[in-house]
Amino acid sequence: MISVRFAFLLLFFSNVLFGECVSKGETYDAIIVGGGISGLSAAHTLKKNGVEKIVILEAADRIGGRVWTEDPWGSKLEMGASWIHGIENSPTFEIVKNMNITIQPTIYSHSCLTCKMNSMALYDSNGKRLNKEDVTQLQDYVEQFLQYLHEINTQNKNNSLTFVEALDDFSKKNKLSEDFYNRLYFTLRLLNTYEFAIDLQNMAVSLEKLSMHSQVSGTDGIIPFGYNLVSSKLAKNIPLELNCKVDGISYDKPIVEISTNKGIFKTKNCIVTVPIGVLKEKTITFSPALPKEKLLAIDDLQVGLFNKVYLLFPCAFWDQEVEWIEPIPSSKSRDQIWDIMNFGKYFKQPILLVFTAGSFAKEVEKWSDEKTIDSVMSVLKKLYGENIPSPSSYRITRWGSNPFSLCSYSAPGLKPEVKAYENLAAPVNDCLYFAGEATSTTDPSTVLGAFSSGERAAKQVLKEMKIKPRPDE
């Protein structure tokens, strides 16, 4: 009885917090497929401009999508997105600032990947911490390699080199030892694979030709009180239908028909915000089929995978002065990188946050919880000794296996063309619109990209409805 009562109260308060009841049978002005940040942003923009007959259809039992905050231990754990990029100049930061929410700046920065090395305890494959001079030397070579990539692209913007191929050439030209090559490979994978969520072997040197100009700059920060506050703010007074899985969208008639497990919904305009992983899997059937350019964009953009393991310990036993703890694996397992953040540095609890990315993240997703924890602990014991305590609790994400995402975020892969993002974002038949981080030509793979794309799609709908957006929109 307690669980039933709780479920009833949860449903009641969800309606109070997030808006009006959903009216079935009517024709909506706009339906948004997906209740992540892009969908919430689109609905919020439409609502502020006077469009009342809207609804979000969300397959999961919660809003936020890949923004998902849990609080099992007294600290807010971000199971999905963690950072606000460019807190000095960011539309998402403006939402947070207006809510008087505290932001904690970090050393890590989206716009300066090597800055992460300024607060890093780096350990070799034997568990010995490298001294400051070794880390500085490695950082210098990373900068040299990045300059080398820039020169390659300047000479030939149509080159087809991968990061690994370019690194091999760079290594030969600079006569790097095998040991130093492994350190450099590790650092580049750490900084790039753990940013784009794909392996260096699948990452094109010509990423620069995307010529994306981010809307933000400056320091990155995390939200101690939880990213879900942004989702809740955007969802206020927005009609929602949770646990509503869309399996078909027919848009060849004046009225778009959306088939779901809860029946058919009708609308004049439909905004699709599902992740690139879902689009690739074709779990939603479009009738008629999407245009060739959009299908090619879905094929060209890659599925990036980025997962987290939170570990709560009875006490802290690790390097307290740094933001990052980085154990270099042996050359035989060079892609098996556990990227460890000293989470307790900002949350005052003995918590480590461990990241996986790319093919290693995909491999780890198949492991049991026990195997995952044992693997992380074996690395920590090599660094800090066999007598360190075991974690008292943990949380593990598996975004690639989540049926409502099937990825963490999009990645450019070996065909980094801005046209792919533009084609994915393009409206179809003046009634079908697309949003989500994978449709952003300035900030893909980020919450900002998702948020801005939702605004953009909403404004396209407003234009179709002949409604002029308010100046503050």
- Span 48-67, average pLDDT: 97
Assign residue 250 the CATH number of its domain: 3.50.50.60
| 239 and 200 within one domain | no
- Predicted confidence band of residue 90 (pLDDT cuts 50, 70, 90): confident
Residue type, 158: N
Show the CA angle centred on residue 437, arms to residues 58 and 261, nearest 5°.
20
Token look-up 């339906």 returns 31
**Number of domains, the chain:** 2
What is the rounded distance in angstroms from the CA atom of residue 399 to the CA atom of residue 364?
11
Task: Using the 3D structure, point to which of 177, 210, 243 is the last residue of a domain.
Answer: 210
Asked if the model's pLDDT at residue 100 lies above 90, the reply is: no
Contact 266, 28 (CB under 8 A): yes
CA distances from 92 to 77, 96, 276, 426 (A): 19, 7, 22, 23
Q: Give the pLDDT score at 36.
A: 98
Measured CA to CA in angstroms, residue 171 lies from 67, 94, 133, 184, 388 at distances of: 39, 44, 20, 9, 38
In a domain, 342, yes or no: no
| pLDDT value of residue 19 | 46
- The percent helix, strand, coil of the chain (3-state, each to 5) is 40, 20, 40
Report pLDDT digits (tens) over 395-428. 999 999 999 999 999 998 787 888 999 999 999 9
pLDDT at 17 over 70: no
266 — phi, psi (to 5°)? Answer: -120, 145
Q: Are residues 29 and 172 in the same domain?
A: no
Q: Are residues 120 and 204 in the same domain?
A: yes
- Kindly report which listed range (219-223, 309-313, 392-396) carries the lowest average pLDDT score: 219-223
Q: Report the pLDDT value the prediction gives residue 24, as an integer from 0 to 100.
A: 62
Q: State whether 189 and 234 are in the same domain.
A: no
Tell me, yes or no, whether 29 lies in a domain.
yes
Where a domain ends, among 153, 180, 210? 210
The 10s digit of each residue's pLDDT in 315-345 is 999 999 999 999 999 988 999 999 999 999 9
Question: Looking at the predicted structure, is the pLDDT value of residue 173 above 70?
Answer: yes
Note the pLDDT of residue 268. Answer: 97
Whether residue 148 is found in the same domain as residue 297: no
Dist. CA 402–CA 409, nearest whole Å: 12
pLDDT of residue 309: 98
Same structural domain for residues 121 and 189? yes
Q: What is the pTM of this model?
A: 0.92
